[in-house]
């Protein structure tokens, strides 16, 4: 029996090394799996957002990635301390008993102060970026009134005196000129909706009786999906739309085509019937 105990004790250090080696091999296998699956560093470490399609979207992306960097740093420190404690203070003999400590004032203060500093830091960066994103300078190139109604979208091009609207069979389309600042004015005649274009990394509620305003500058050509991000009722899932960012000449032609189809004037933002039809009254 004594020989058996001594043999087991002699194997303990080797066993620990084998476990550490197995952990490193597992971490390496995970890294290889992520690489083989086509995940980029951003996607793997930051669960990254869509590629920004506006000048302002980079502010949100930087805040998001900065938050993840802070989270990974805290996680790495925590995991490191846990592993170090597990190895440095492991029981080396069966009868070993760790030192019993009732309390440790410096460590308890550290556990309170450090999380408080982290939370205040995240709050400060969030408040700073939010103020910058929501700032309205009123120096826009175009003004678009977004009308969210049950169950579709309408877009009033204020400066061009034209409108576009979706139908039950066809999602609405919002066409914007590239590299021009757009002032969005959000209104609703019925219930709360939410105007969300994931590629803009921004969304804002559309509230009855209130006009919400923000400004963005699309800087990437292409078509981007949009949707309502507020559960607004039975046909919420139908509230889809597309945003098409084009050159100025194509935008002017689009406005001319709207007017040629009789879509001159502006949709009345207070008209939407309960049957879910498009607004059918407009001011000219």
- Mean pLDDT over 259-266 rounds to 91
pLDDT score for 266: 87
- pLDDT tier, 225 (very low <50, low <70, confident <90, very high otherwise): very high
Of 186, 280, 182, 191, the closest CA to residue 235 belongs to 191
Backbone angles phi, psi at 60, to 5 degrees: -65, -40
- Mean pLDDT over 190-219 rounds to 93
| pLDDT tens-digit readout, 24-73 | 555 555 555 555 544 555 555 556 778 899 999 999 999 998 998 888 99
Judge whether residue 151 has pLDDT over 80.
yes
Judge whether residue 203 has pLDDT over 90.
yes
- Mean pLDDT over 187-205 rounds to 93
Mapped onto helix, strand or coil, the DSSP state of residue 55 is coil
- Mean pLDDT over 230-256 rounds to 94
Backbone angles phi, psi at 81, to 5 degrees: -65, -40
Chain centre to alpha carbon of residue 129: 14
CA pair distance 104, 111, nearest whole angstrom: 11
What is the residue-averaged pLDDT of the chain?
82
- pLDDT tier, 79 (very low <50, low <70, confident <90, very high otherwise): very high
- pLDDT tier, 226 (very low <50, low <70, confident <90, very high otherwise): very high
CATH number given to 142-283: 2.60.40.420
Q: How many beta carbons lie within 10 A of that of residue 26, not counting itself?
A: 10
Q: pTM above the 0.95 mark?
A: no
Instruction: Please give the C-alpha separations between residue 128 and each of 125, 204, 206, in angstroms, as whole numbers.
Output: 5, 18, 24
4 vs 259: which has the higher pLDDT: 259
Helix 57-88 and helix 105-134, axial crossing angle in degrees, nearest 10: 170
Of 148, 170, 173, the closest CA to residue 269 belongs to 148
- On the 0-12 / 13-18 / 19+ scale of CB atoms within 10 A, 154 is buried
Pick the CATH number of 49-134 from 1.10.287.90, 3.30.390.50, 3.30.470.10, 2.40.160.20: 1.10.287.90
Pair 66, 125: CB distance under 8 Å: yes
Judge whether residue 224 has pLDDT over 70.
yes
Least confident residue range of 47-61, 189-203, 205-219:
47-61
Q: What is the dihedral of CA 53, 177, 217, 220, to 10 degrees?
A: 20
Least confident residue range of 5-9, 72-76, 182-186:
5-9
Judge whether residue 275 has pLDDT over 60.
no
H or E element, residue 77: helix 57-88
- pLDDT tier, 4 (very low <50, low <70, confident <90, very high otherwise): very low
| pLDDT tens-digit readout, 103-133 | 888 888 988 998 999 999 999 999 999 999 9
């Amino acid at each position: 029996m004594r020989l058996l105990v001594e043999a087991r004790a002699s194997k303990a250090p080797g066993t620990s090394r084998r476990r550490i080696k197995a952990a490193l091999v597992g971490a390496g296998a995970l890294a290889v799996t992520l690489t083989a699956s086509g995940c980029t560093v951003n996607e793997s470490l930051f669960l990254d957002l869509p590629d920004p399609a506006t000048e302002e979207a980079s502010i949100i992306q930087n805040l998001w990635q900065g938050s993840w960097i802070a989270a990974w740093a805290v996680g790495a420190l925590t995991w490191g301390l846990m592993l170090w404690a597990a190895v440095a203070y492991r029981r080396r003999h069966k009868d070993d008993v760790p030192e019993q400590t009732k309390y440790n004032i410096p460590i308890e203060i550290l556990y309170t102060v450090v999380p408080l500093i982290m939370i205040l830091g995240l709050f400060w960066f969030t408040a700073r970026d939010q103020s910058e994103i929501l700032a309205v300078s009123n120096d826009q190139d175009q003004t678009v009134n977004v009308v969210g109604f049950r169950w579709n979208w309408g877009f009033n091009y204020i400066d061009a005196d034209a409108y576009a609207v979706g139908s039950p069979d066809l999602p609405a389309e919002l066409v914007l000129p590239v590299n021009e600042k757009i002032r969005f004015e959000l209104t609703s005649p019925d219930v709360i909706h939410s105007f969300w274009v994931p590629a803009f990394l921004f969304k804002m509620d559309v509230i009855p009786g209130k006009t919400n305003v923000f400004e963005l500058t699309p800087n990437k050509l292409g078509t981007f999906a949009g949707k309502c991000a507020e559960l607004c009722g039975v046909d919420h899932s139908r509230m889809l739309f597309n945003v098409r960012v084009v050159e100025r000449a194509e935008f002017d032609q689009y406005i001319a085509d709207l007017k040629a189809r009789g879509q001159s004037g502006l949709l009345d933002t207070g008209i939407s019937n309960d049957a879910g039809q498009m607004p059918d009254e407009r001011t000219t």
